[in-house]
Each structure stands twice: as structure tokens, then as C-alpha cells.
Amino acid sequence: MNNTVLFSQLISSLSFFTVANTNSEVAVTPQSLVNGDDVKKVLEADKRKEAQLISYEVIDFTKRGDNYACVVSSVKVKYDLHEKQDYVSYVVKLNPCRNFTGYEDLTAIMFKKEAKFYADIVPELNAVLEALNQDPLKFPKCYHYNLTMGKEQIYFEDLRSRDFRMFDRRKGMDELHTPLVLREMARLHAAAYLLQCQNPKEPLEQKFDFLKRDWLNFTDNDAISEMMRQLLHNYLTNSISMLKRVGGYESAIAWVESLIPRVEEILTQGMQSKRFGTINHGDCWNNNILFRYDDEGKPIDVILLDLQICRKASLACDLNYFLYTSLTGSVRQPNLKDFLSTYYSSYKGVLEDAGRDMFFNEDDLMKEFREKNTLGAFFGMMIVPIMLMEPEDVPDMSGKDDSDMDNLVQEFQDKAMDMLNTNPLLKPRFLAIFDDMMETGLIP
Ligand SMILES: *[C@@H]1O[C@H](CO)[C@@H](O)[C@H](O)[C@H]1NC(C)=O
Ligand SMILES: *[C@@H]1O[C@H](CO)[C@@H](O)[C@H](O)[C@H]1NC(C)=O
Ligand SMILES: *[C@@H]1O[C@H](CO)[C@@H](O)[C@H](O)[C@H]1NC(C)=O
């Protein structure tokens, strides 16, 4: 299971900002955070109390380029239950122990979002679905988390043992994979809608206050918000350079330039949707989705992972994020209407089982999707170049600190420009984002 949060890749590879460094004692490795106390808790949550921990071993299995905001590893546990010895493996997500300014606070909120999503939100959503005889949501089982600042850890079932695999992040999702993701995304959104209906007086983002933390206010530290703004800005200017290199995209360049002063507005507009507001996965792209296949290699099941930027926003934010980061234009463009229909029927199915009328139709959905297209384009521009990088080309952040930041930024930008010539996947996928927006008239 290789799960990534792109978002921190962004922070660490593209931030120019340095503020007072408060994090100078980082000398431990993420793997060394795994300790007997936590492993015991994991084992107890999974097996029963009587299970005795005998020993454990940390075994890395992810590649560089797969780990950004957190380090993902595994723990092989030897235990004794009723005088029988056995082994079990868990996946653990660890604080990356990197020495960048602001990292500690950002890591803390992202681990909190994810741990609390599994511990507090998923059981409530599943209770809603269970009452309707619907399957539980397809997330990994989470056994234990430790949110001690600087030493964050979250332990999951090891989905490799259930044959779930990551989709090659450089490929676009096709007509078989995409509907599986959309149906599951719709069930998440619809279950959250029903949960909200149970208690309209208490907004979900009040009950689960971490859902209110968004790109520009992950923490209360203004310096971090400013760093984020700068970072997102850099992505837009990087896209402009890429479009200039390609040539012939003058109207798209003018449009991206017009977005620069509007970054804040674009990111926050999705948060304010009353009608379509629901719990968003927040980071739904290739690397955060696992599939299971039948003997013919056809995908038959899906698991969504990595809730580190879950938030309350319009359902169209997740849809745009996924469809503009994880699909090629050649799959997205001809199938868009069908894809949204698939999402729609899954959503409607949940509401119908609950005896509720659907409160929007397919045209409303398309309209809301279009209204949030700027957000889709925005994340597409950021993520597509990163997604297509070879793991060995992703700037290596281990052992780096603030003084290396400018070099890392430059390295990343040079790489993206090189890739326009060297990686045949990049140009069509990147340009398709703008072609879409020209066709719908968003780019005049
Ligand atoms: C972390 O970075 C600061 C300054 O950027 C440096 O002084 C310190 O030695 C670094 N700590 C480690 C453990 O690398
Ligand atoms: C959480 O981590 C801290 C620091 O490593 C440790 O002292 C504590 O025992 C851990 N808590 C649990 C419940 O394992
Ligand atoms: C963060 O910003 C969003 C969008 O403007 C807002 O809705 C939310 O309340 C803010 N959260 C906090 C904790 O200030």
C-alpha cells in the first residue's frame, strides 16, 4: 500500500518561505517512532486482549517518490494467542521527521484529520449505511493512532493481504476503474449528507471541527498560511512557463495569470456551498486509491485512503479534483456525462434507500461540477506534473532543511520543463485540462 499526500510534497518542494525554525531537534528516523507500547495497542485492537506481543519488526516497502507528507511502512508482529504463535502485518503511517519550518504544525493537523476521520467519522457514516442495509464504506481498518506531536503514527490493516493494489500513478484511470471510484465517492458524500440530516442544528464541521481546516488555514499560524499561498502561486507560475514553452496557448496563459490574485477565492468558494456541502475526501487521486482485480485483470473492488486533507466542501470539489488529476483527457472528455451519471445514481441509491427524495437532478450536478471547474484545473495543473515524475526524479527531501529549499524548488521546476520534452505522457495530459476549459467557455 503506497499512500501519499501530495499536498505536503507541494509544501516541501515548492515553498520559498522561511520563518523562524522551531524544529531543530529532528534527528530520529520515522521508523524509529514505532514502539512496543503502540504496537501492543494495535495488536489488542485487532486480536483480543489476550494476545501477547512477542516481538515486532519494521519492514519498509514503499519507494521514494511514494512518500511525501508521511512515511508509510509496515510492522510485522509476532504474537501469542492461547499458546499459539502467529504473525500479522500492519501498515503504519509515520511522521516523516523532516526538518522544514512549519512541518511540525502541518503534520500535526494532517495526522489529526486522518486519525479522527477513521475514529470519529467513519463509524457514524457506517451506522447510517448499515441502517439502510448498504455495505460499509470502503476504507482500511484503522487500529490505533498516536497523535503525540512530532511522533505521530497511525496503524492500519495491511491491505496487501486482501490483494488490494495501487494503480500505476502514471497511468490515467480508465472506463473500468473510474466508475468504481465515483460510486464509492458518492456513497461517502451521500452518507455524510444523511448524517447531517439526522441533526440539522449541528453542522458536521462544528461537530468535527478539523473539517474546517482548509488549504489556507491548516493552522492558526499566519506565516504557514502565507507560505501556502506562495506555494500555490508558484504552481500557477510554473504552469504559465510550461504553457509558454508549448506555444499556442495564449488565452490559457492569460486565464492562468488572472487566477493568480484569486487563489484564495478559488480555494474557499467550494467550502461555502450550502446545497452541495458534504464531507470531502479531499485528496482523491491515483495514489490514494487501491483496487482489487478478478482473474481476468478487471478491477472489481476499491478502497479509498489518505484522509489527511478531508474537509467540508461541495461534492463537486472531490469530483473535480479526481477527474482532473487522475484521468487523461481522452478518457475524461468523451465519458464525462456518463461518469457524472454513475456518481449520480450511486448517490441517489443511498438517498432512496433512506426514503428521501433526491434534492438535485443530473443537470444540477453538471452545473455544480462546472462551477467548480476552476478548482479542478487548479489541482490538475499542480498534480499532473508531479504524478508523472519517475520516483527517482522527485526531489529527495530527506536530510534537507530550509536552506535547501530554493534548490529544491528550482530542481522541481526544471524537471517539469524537461519532462515536456522527455515524457510523452505529460504534454497531452496537461494540455487537456486547458482544452476542456476552452471548450466549456471557462477560458474565453
Ligand atoms: C534543522 O534545520 C536547522 C536550520 O535550518 C539546522 O540548524 C538544524 O541543525 C537542523 N537539524 C537537523 C537535525 O538536521
Ligand atoms: C504515544 O506516543 C508517546 C510518545 O512516543 C508515548 O509516550 C505513549 O506511550 C504513546 N501512547 C500510546 C497509547 O501508545
Ligand atoms: C478556514 O477557511 C475556510 C474557508 O474560508 C472557512 O470556511 C473556515 O471556517 C476556516 N477555518 C478556520 C478554522 O478558521
User: Got the DSSP string for 176-206?
Assistant: THHHHHHHHHHHHHHHHHHHHHH-TTS-HHH
E strand residue ranges, 99-216: 142-146, 153-157, 165-166
Compute the average pLDDT of residues 238-259: 95
> Is 20 touching ligand 1 by the criterion CB < 6 Å?
no
Q: What is the band of 403 on the pLDDT scale with cuts at 50, 70, 90? A: low
Residues 6 or more apart in contact with residue 137 via CB below 8 angstroms: 122, 125, 126, 129, 184, 187, 188, 191, 304
Please tell me the distance between residue 221's alpha carbon and the centre of ligand 1 in angstroms: 21
Q: 3-class SS at 220?
A: coil
User: Which ligand has the shortest distance to the CA of 209?
Assistant: 3
> Is 214 touching ligand 3 by the criterion CB < 6 Å?
yes
Compute the average pLDDT of residues 371-393: 88
Burial degree of 150 (CB within 10 A; 0-12, 13-18, 19+) = middle
Note the pLDDT tens digit of each residue in 194-226. 999 999 999 999 999 999 998 888 999 888 888
List the grid coordinates of 48: 483480543
What is residue 133's predicted lDDT score, i.e. its pLDDT?
96
Please tell me the distance between residue 226's alpha carbon and the centre of ligand 3 in angstroms: 15
Strand order in the sheet with 289-293: 165-166, 289-293, 299-304
Compute the average pLDDT of residues 407-418: 82
Runs of H (alpha helix) within 221-295: 222-246, 250-259, 263-269
> Is 19 touching ligand 1 by the criterion CB < 6 Å?
no
| Helix, strand, coil percentages, rounded to 5, for the chain | 55, 15, 30
User: Which ligand has the shortest distance to the CA of 203?
Assistant: 3
pLDDT reading at 426 higher than 80: yes
> Is 27 touching ligand 1 by the criterion CB < 6 Å?
yes
User: Got the DSSP string for 399-411?
Assistant: T-BGGGHHHHHHH
E strand or H helix at 320: helix 315-325
List the grid coordinates of 212: 474546517
> Is 217 touching ligand 3 by the criterion CB < 6 Å?
yes
